Amino acid sequence: MVNEEVLKIVLNDKTFGRDTAADIVGGLARLKELVGKGLIRAEKTTNKQNGKWFCNAWDVIKWAKLK
């Protein structure tokens, strides 16, 4: 089994896009909820409607949901 601290160090500076992150956490609605609560750090580099999301990989993995 992989150590949680190792994962945290490796994934903390990586990002997932919105669709990938939504697949991991169990859907777009849940992802938006987690981002809104501040549990997943995410940023959008532009104010355009279709701007790319950058979701912190470690935060997304922490909130992963099995299907």
DSSP string covering 23-34, please? HHHT-HHHHHHH
Query: Is residue 17 scored above 90 in pLDDT?
Result: yes
Q: What is the per-residue pLDDT for 1?
A: 61
Q: Is 57 helix (H, G, I), strand (E, B) or coil?
A: helix
Query: Is residue 4 scored above 70 in pLDDT?
Result: yes
pTM over 0.75, yes/no = yes
**Count of C-beta atoms within a 10 Å radius of residue 50:** 5
Token pair, residue 64, equals: 């992963």
